[in-house]
Structure 1
Amino acid sequence: MGRTEYYHAPKAPKANTLIPASNMLVVDDQGAILLQRRRDTGQWALPGGAQDIGESPAQCAVRECQEETGIVAEITGFLGVYSNPAHIVAYTDGEIRQQFEVVYIGRPVSGEPTINDEADGVRWVYPDDLHTLDIHPSMHKQIGHYLAGTYPYLG
């Protein structure tokens, strides 16, 4: 299923759903951040996705990280809650979602970066190299709060 992201776009469609999702900002011992390149947008992002019934937001973040990157991570902290009515994601099935993400900080426990159905690239990126990648502004915001130490973010 395809998707189009709108970020502070006056012509964005009106949201018709709000789905809880969780992201994981995983940092290795050398300070590199785990990113995936989304197949649906081509942009680099933190691993994350929609929460399933029967799981907590933290369980969702751990599951999504492993599914999307091949890395098993454990949670070490809380980055924040990110929900922006001006960040809209329109899916080809007609769902138009307002962003709502609970974001955790984690460290890798096991696994190797592995591509999959959702990500055609998975890699560790040092903060100084982030500017070389196409990263959505919402992900830049989350990563920026981590790097600046300005968390938890409760937006």
Structure 2
Amino acid sequence: MGRTEYYHDPSAPKANTLIPASNLLVADDRGAILLQRRRDTGQWALPGGAQDIGESPAQCAIRECEEETGVIAEVTGFLGVFSDPRHIVAYTDGEIRQQFEVAYIGHPIGGAPRVNDESDGVEWVLPDHLDDFDIHTSMRQQIGLYLRGEYPYLG
């Protein structure tokens, strides 16, 4: 399923759903951040996705991280709540979502980076090299808050 992201774009379609999702910003002992390249947009992002019934937001973040990157991580902190009504994601099936993400901070405890159906690239990226990657503005916001120590964000 394809998707188009609109960020503070007045031509964005009107949202018709609000789905809880969780992200996990995983940093290793060197300070490198785990990123995945999304197959549906080609952009690099933190691992994350929609929460399933029966799981907590933190469990969702851990599951999505392993599914999308192959890295098993534990939650070590809370980054924030991100729900910008002007960040819209339109899917080819007609679903149009308003952003709603609960983001956590994590540390790797197992697994190894691997590609899959959702990600065609997985990299550990040192902060000095983030500008070499096409990262969506919303992900940049979350990474920037983490790097500056400006969390938890309750936007």
User: Normalising by the residue count of structure 2, what TM-score does the alignment of the two structures yield?
Assistant: 1.00
Q: Partner residue of 2:37?
A: 37
* Number of equivalenced pairs: 155
Amino acid at match of 2:50: A
Instruction: Report the counterpart of residue 118 of structure 1 in structure 2.
Output: 118
Counterpart of 2:73?
73
For the pair 1:19 / 2:5, whether they are aligned, the reply is no
SS in 1 for 2:62: helix
Deviation at 1:112, TM superposition (A): 0.7
Deviations 1:77-99, CA, capped at 9 Å, x for gaps: 00000000010000000000000
Match of 1:138 in 2: 138
Q: Unmatched 5+ residue regions in structure 2?
A: none
**SS of the counterpart of 2:106?**
strand
Deviations 1:3-58 (A, max 9, x none): 00000111000000000000000000000000000000000000000000000000
Cα deviation code 1:108-136 (max 9, x no counterpart):
00011000000000010000000111000
Task: Note the aligned Cα RMSD (angstroms).
Answer: 0.3
Q: Within 1, Cα distance between the matches of 2:39 and 2:113?
A: 15
Give the secondary structure class of the aligned counterpart of 2:25. Answer: strand
Structure 1 unmatched runs, 5+ = none
Return the letter of the residue paired with 1:51.
Q
Could you say which residue in structure 2 is the equivalent of 1:50? 50
> Would you say 1:105 and 2:105 are equivalent positions?
yes
Paired residue for 1:5?
A: 5
**Does 2:94 align with 1:94?**
yes
Q: SS of the counterpart of 1:115? A: coil
Cα distance, 1:75 vs structure 2: 0.3
